[in-house]
Structure 1
Amino acid sequence: MAARELVVLGTSSQAPTRTRNHNGYVLRWDSTTLMFDPGEGTQRQMVLAGVASPRIERICVTHSHNDHCLGVPGVLARMALDAPGRRVALHGPDAALGHLGDLVRVAQADVDVELSAVRPGAEPLDVAGAALRGVALDHRVPAVGYRLDEPARPHLLRDRLAAAGIVGPDVGRLQREGELRGVKLAEVSVTRPGQSFAFVMDTRLCPGVEELLRGVDLAVVESTFLDRDARLAQDYAHLTARQAATAAARAGVRRLVLTHYSQRYGNLEEIAAEARSAVREAGGSTEVHVAADLDVIAVPARRETT
């Protein structure tokens, strides 16, 4: 199986800095690759990170603010250069589709772009056997977060199969049919929980944040401000590092990736300290990763079977 990992292309909110590019994230998930919120400069960051554009099958945008989507034309242009005529899905909330359509037209790229709305409560999209859905967030413009969930599946136990005399092609038959020669699939397997990923960008705390983060393996969450600037976070509809980490710990997130930092913060050690302190105070065990540009972060190993 191919690696499941997050590639961080940029970590800056609103404006890039000398050391941080605009937003941009790539999720490698088995046979497919998803891109999230490509800000300005994403095409160059892809080169630095070794991200191949032909592998990107979906671009998921959370809202219409330019630091989350101004990189779309450059990404499409790169796709047209590397693999002209290919198809890519471009998703966003209804309110962002007009702006995203304009960016597609600006690109004038030889790419077949399928532009579609991600509506909270709608039927999830199938992504390599996992379910991708959008959840409404609370920002200054309509915004969504994204969650990808792999379903739980039976995990066959070799010793039980051998004891039941099921070998070779019969193993596949049992998986397809659920029962073979009186042996039920449940008798020779345990349930293997699926892996999950959440992407939470510009938002205040709201029910959508909790829904996106609940029990997730890897979560990317904005932490634009420190807690000392909580008033700014509220006014501009963002999260603080403390809020993001507390929400993640209470939701049972296994690995939290903080990003989308205000340019007012040069040293990120305070963000890391604040977030880790919040996890401890919440009684959680969430691992906190304060992202830097070009980081590669693995999806945590599967949970134990049940």
Structure 2
Amino acid sequence: MSVRELVVLGTGSQAPSRTRNHNGYLLRWDGEGLLFDPGEGTQRQLIFAGVPATAITRICVTHFHGDHCLGVPGIIQRLSLDRVPHPVVAHYPVAGAEYFARLRGACAFAEHADLREHPIDREGVIATGEFGELSARWLDHRIDTVGYRLVEPDGRRMLPDALAAHGVTGPDIGRLRRDGALTVGGRRVLLDDVSVPRRGQCFAFVMDTRLCDAVFTLADGADLLVIESTFLSEHVDLAAEYGHLTAAQAGRVAAECGVRTLVLTHFSQRYTDADRFAAEAGEEFGGDIVVAADLTRVPVPPRR
């Protein structure tokens, strides 16, 4: 059975707190496990979440500020310790290649894992597979930063009643899906006769950035948008100065981009009332809002 959910491992920002670990987000997408921005303590948070290292297939780093990458050494070493049998691909901005090398070799250990580095040097599609397309866009932060977008290809949803009416059963269903047409009992059956279009699902991940065109490009039509909301609007000037978003800005992005579920995270430790983030974003966005907390799980919304 396929699983599509976000496992939240950490929701803090520059400084962790008693209740919020540094960043860390694992997207479980069928057979893929994309680990975004593993901050300090991510290895232990995975244990608390009941997720094994073998679930990780990709590591996606947005940029090389510590709260987004200080957990990389522990994750890499855990992959080797647990002898993860499959290759794990690491994506990160190419300008941070020196930092990634330092993190990868932070201390002595026996490297058994097959870790393959794929630095990002341009916008666009950076990986393809059965999961669809993973793409990256440059964001507007104080250092080189990327956001990520995962899009499943559009497909078809088979209609049981129509299949029965046309006499298409068993292995013929797969052949019809593959070939687009099939002869059954002397009659030509087209895929369009027994199915309807099924829109592919979309996930977007936007961390440290000011509002810019790339934020809206990444979020466009996302079923699940994970986006930083470090500040509330009372500190909008600080947000702009340090290259971050407010909860209201995150809500605006979700509203303008037709997002289905909005996940707010990366909260400054100066705030103690998380409900304020939901209230502020809700003034802009009328859809589902999740104020992320450590170790929560957020399902990708069911297909429309």
Instruction: Please report the TM-score for the alignment, with normalisation by the length of structure 2.
Output: 0.94
Match of 2:213 among 194, 199, 207: 207
Contact 2:37–2:68 at 8 Å: present in 1 too?
Answer: yes
Match of 1:169 among 156, 168, 171: 171
More moved, 241-250 vs 172-181: 172-181
Contact 1:3–1:29 at 8 Å: present in 2 too?
Answer: yes
Residue of structure 2 in register with 1:21 after alignment: 21
State the alpha-carbon separation in 1 of the partners of residues 266 and 251 from structure 2. 14
State the alpha-carbon separation in 2 of the partners of residues 85 and 49 from structure 1. 21
- 3-state SS of the aligned residue for 2:125? coil
**Cα displacement (A) at 1:294:** 0.6
Residue type at the aligned position of 2:155: R
Residue of structure 2 in register with 1:138 after alignment: 140
**Cα displacement (A) at 1:208:** 0.4
Is the aligned partner of 1:236 residue 2:242?
yes
Residue of structure 1 in register with 2:153 after alignment: 151
More moved, 201-210 vs 115-124: 115-124
Contact 1:4–1:299 at 8 Å: present in 2 too?
Answer: yes
- 3-state SS of the aligned residue for 1:220? strand
Residue of structure 2 in register with 1:286 after alignment: 287
Residue of structure 2 in register with 1:282 after alignment: none
Contact 2:29–2:131 at 8 Å: present in 1 too?
Answer: no
Contact 2:125–2:136 at 8 Å: present in 1 too?
Answer: no
**Cα displacement (A) at 1:154:** 1.0
Match of 1:129 among 131, 140, 151: 131
State the alpha-carbon separation in 2 of the partners of residues 168 and 112 from structure 1. 39
State the alpha-carbon separation in 1 of the partners of residues 206 and 222 from structure 2. 12
1:231-287 Cα shifts (integer Å, max 9, x gaps): 0000001000000111111111100000001111122121121111222xxxxx321
- 3-state SS of the aligned residue for 1:92? strand
**Cα displacement (A) at 1:22:** 0.3
- 3-state SS of the aligned residue for 1:275? helix
State the alpha-carbon separation in 1 of the partners of residues 207 and 125 from structure 2. 22
State the alpha-carbon separation in 1 of the partners of residues 15 and 252 from structure 2. 26
**Cα displacement (A) at 1:124:** 4.0
Is the aligned partner of 1:118 residue 2:124?
no
1:123-163 Cα shifts (integer Å, max 9, x gaps): 34124331111111110011110010111101111221222
State the alpha-carbon separation in 2 of the partners of residues 99 and 81 from structure 1. 22
**Cα displacement (A) at 1:121:** 3.5
After superposing on structure 2, the runs of 4+ consecutive aligned residues of structure 1 that deviate more than 3 Å are: 119-124
Contact 2:124–2:137 at 8 Å: present in 1 too?
Answer: no
Residue of structure 1 in register with 2:64 after alignment: 64
- 3-state SS of the aligned residue for 1:278? coil
Count of aligned residue pairs for this structure pair: 298
Unpaired runs of at least 5, structure 1: 280-284
1:247-286 matches, within 5 Å, as 247-279=253-285, 285-286=286-287
More moved, 251-260 vs 124-133: 124-133
Unpaired runs of at least 5, structure 2: none
Contact 1:8–1:24 at 8 Å: present in 2 too?
Answer: yes
Contact 2:228–2:266 at 8 Å: present in 1 too?
Answer: yes
Residue of structure 2 in register with 1:93 after alignment: 93
- 3-state SS of the aligned residue for 1:106? coil
**Cα displacement (A) at 1:85:** 6.5
Residue of structure 2 in register with 1:188 after alignment: 194
Is the aligned partner of 1:302 residue 2:303?
yes
Instruction: Please report the TM-score for the alignment, with normalisation by the length of structure 1.
Output: 0.94
State the alpha-carbon separation in 2 of the partners of residues 147 and 86 from structure 1. 23
1:210-238 Cα shifts (integer Å, max 9, x gaps): 00111100010000000000000000010
